[in-house]
Structures are given as structure tokens and as C-alpha cells.
């Protein structure tokens, strides 16, 4: 979710979470209000901002940033995911856009589909190489969208996804892996998972709530099999072991207004979580 530290900090609690950071983060670049991040195979970081149609490209070695492409038709960008080699789906308002880096040095963007009935699209998860899951924070539902045909339908809907509190915003971060959808509800301070059908993405079991006492924004998978959650107003990145029945989040880094994360893909940064935040993109090295 867009960085809203003054509001979020007042709504978050942290009972039950280990909150002593192992380390502070290193700032990679300074950019305003980074919403979401993804890492390309070439090591470049892509970053979105809900107030801008510019998709930023960041060199984490040189610590420089530039506009990779302005996504035509979008007024702001949020969730992003790579569904085919160097091809990304990006949320821009009510539209889902394709941003293609595979054709050379100049990326191209095109509209995949506008979900006209959407209320507030935010989180995006790659489901397979032809479809993505899109979280509607305003309606509290998840759409499955075919990136080739543009067809879509609601596949997940649950009270744990519904908006909560004074801001009409519910399900936020969402990721999928091995038959399980993981998601946060930012203003409920909650984190959940649900088993889904590997073809339809519809639930095959009940939603399991992992915690209800720590703010969670977007999330990412680490190379160690663990899950990492950006906590926005709690100013941290926490680690969760999905193999544990009742996991206790452990803080692994301190990042003011953390919104999202993605791990490096090179040998030198495969254990580095790049964290989007209110003041740019930061690096947190995850130690064994």
C-alpha cells in the first residue's frame, strides 16, 4: 500500500512479534513513495509509485535510478509480477498492463485488461505463465486474470479480505506458491493463507489466519523458503517460516515505511531483500 506512515503507525500493534532488528537497511536509491518492487533477471530492480505512471529501473550496484518506461494509460502503478521471462504484469488504476523488456533495450507497454468493476486494485501475484491474481483492496476479492486473453473472474472472497477501519482498504499484499495463496489485510493487522486449486485458483480449504497483531503490506519469498513481509507503519521487514504451524514473525531489518520486497537474483545478491519504502529502495541482507 502507498506509504502512509502517520496513519498506519497509529493503527498498528506488534504484540507477539519479535521486534528487535538484526540490522538497519542500506539505502539503494532515494525515490518518493515506492509502492512495489520486482527484480529482473539482469539484476535491475523495477519500482512502482501509485502517484506516477513511470516504472523506475534501479541499478543496485551503481545505486542509480531512471525511468524505464511511462506506462501509457495509467495514472499510477502498484502491484507488479514477472509472468514470463522479462515480461511483467503491472497494475495501473483499474487496468492491468503488460510491460515487455524481452525485445531489447527499449521496453514496451500495452493494456491487457481493464477491470471496470474494480474498486481499488493493489496487490498482484503471478499464478502461472499465463495468469495472475489481482487483489481488490476496496472490494475484498481476488481476481484471476488471463494475461493472454484478458478474461478474468473473482476466484477468492473471504471476510478476512474485506476493508477494515476508517480507510476502505482490505487485502493488500498477495503471493502464490505451490498451491497456497498468502495475503495480508493491512488495517486488520493480519496475515493469512488459503489452499487453492492449481488450475482454477479457487479455494480448496478454509482460510488460515497466521496473526492478527502486526501490520503487513506486501510480501515476498526468500531463497531459503521463508516468507518476508513489509510492515509499512511498523517500519520493518519481518521473516516468517511457512513450515511452522503458528509462525512468529521475526524482524530482520529496519526500514521506515516499508511497503514491499523482492530478492536479488544474482550470486552476489541472492540473499539480499530489496525493500520498497516511502523514501526509496533499501537493501537488507538476510543472514543464516
- Cβ-proximal residues to 179 (8 Å cutoff; 6+ apart), any chain: 195, 196, 197, 198, 204
pLDDT at position 14 is: 40
Cβ-count burial 177-192 (b if 16+ within 10 Å, e if not) = eeeebbbbbbbbbbbb
Provide the pLDDT for residue 2. Answer: 57
Looking at residue 245, its pLDDT comes to 82
The mean pLDDT of 247-276, rounded to a whole number, is 96
Find the CATH number of the domain harbouring 216: 2.120.10.30
pLDDT digits (tens, 9 = 90+) for 206-226: 999 999 999 999 999 999 999
Q: Is the dihedral of CA 130, 136, 137, 140 positive or negative?
A: negative
Q: Looking at residues 173-183, what average pLDDT do you find? A: 98
pTM given for the model: 0.93
**Is residue 5 scored above 60 in pLDDT?**
no
Backbone angles phi, psi at 8, to 5 degrees: -70, -35
C-alpha cell at 265: 537474483
Confidence of residue 1 (pLDDT cuts 50, 70, 90): low
124-173 pLDDT tens trace: 999 999 999 999 999 999 999 999 999 999 999 999 999 998 888 999 99
For the chain, the domain total comes to 1
Task: Calculate the average pLDDT of the chain.
Answer: 92
pLDDT at 11 over 70: no
**275-287 mean pLDDT:** 96
User: Using alpha carbons only, what angle is made at residue 68 by residues 93 and 183, rounded to the nearest 5 degrees?
Assistant: 45
Q: Which residue range is the domain that position 121 belongs to?
A: 5-285
Residue 6, pLDDT score:
41
What's the pLDDT at 287? 87
Amino acid at each position: 500500500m502507498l506509504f502512509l506512515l502517520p496513519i498506519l503507525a497509529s493503527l498498528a500493534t506488534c504484540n507477539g512479534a519479535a521486534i528487535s532488528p538484526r540490522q538497519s537497511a542500506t539505502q539503494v536509491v532515494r525515490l518518493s513513495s515506492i509502492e512495489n518492487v520486482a527484480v529482473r533477471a539482469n539484476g535491475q530492480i523495477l519500482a512502482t509509485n501509485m502517484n506516477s505512471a513511470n516504472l523506475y529501473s534501479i541499478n543496485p550496484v551503481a545505486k542509480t535510478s531512471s525511468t524505464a518506461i511511462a506506462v501509457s494509460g495509467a495514472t499510477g502503478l502498484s502491484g507488479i509480477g514477472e509472468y514470463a521471462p522479462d515480461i511483467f504484469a503491472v497494475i495501473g488504476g483499474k487496468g492491468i498492463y503488460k510491460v515487455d523488456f524481452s525485445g531489447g533495450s527499449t521496453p514496451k507497454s500495452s493494456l491487457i485488461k481493464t477491470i471496470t468493476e474494480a474498486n481499488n486494485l493493489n496487490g498482484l501475484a503471478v499464478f502461472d505463465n499465463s495468469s495472475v491474481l489481482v487483489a481488490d483492496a476496496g472490494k475484498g476479492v481476488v481476481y484471476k486474470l488471463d494475461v493472454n486473453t484478458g478474461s478474468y473472474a473473482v476466484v477468492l472472497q473471504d471476510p478476512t479480505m474485506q476493508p477494515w477501519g476508517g480507510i476502505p482498504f482490505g487485502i493488500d499484499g498477495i503471493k502464490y506458491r505451490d498451491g497456497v495463496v498468502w495475503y495480508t489485510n493491512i488495517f486488520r493487522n493480519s496475515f493469512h493463507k488459503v489452499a487453492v486449486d492449481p488450475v482454477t485458483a479457487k479455494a480448496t480449504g478454509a482460510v488460515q489466519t497466521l496473526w492478527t497483531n502486526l501490520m503487513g503490506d506486501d510480501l515476498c519469498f526468500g531463497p531459503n523458503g521463508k516468507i518476508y513481509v513489509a510492515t509499512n507503519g511498523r517500519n520493518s521487514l519481518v521473516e516468517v517460516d511457512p513450515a511452522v504451524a503458528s509462525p512468529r514473525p521475526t524482524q530482520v531489518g529496519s526500514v521506515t515505511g516499508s511497503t514491499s520486497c523482492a530478492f536479488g537474483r544474482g550470486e552476489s545478491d541472492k540473499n539480499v531483500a530489496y525493500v520498497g519504502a516511502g523514501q526509496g529502495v533499501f537493501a537488507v541482507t538476510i543472514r543464516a
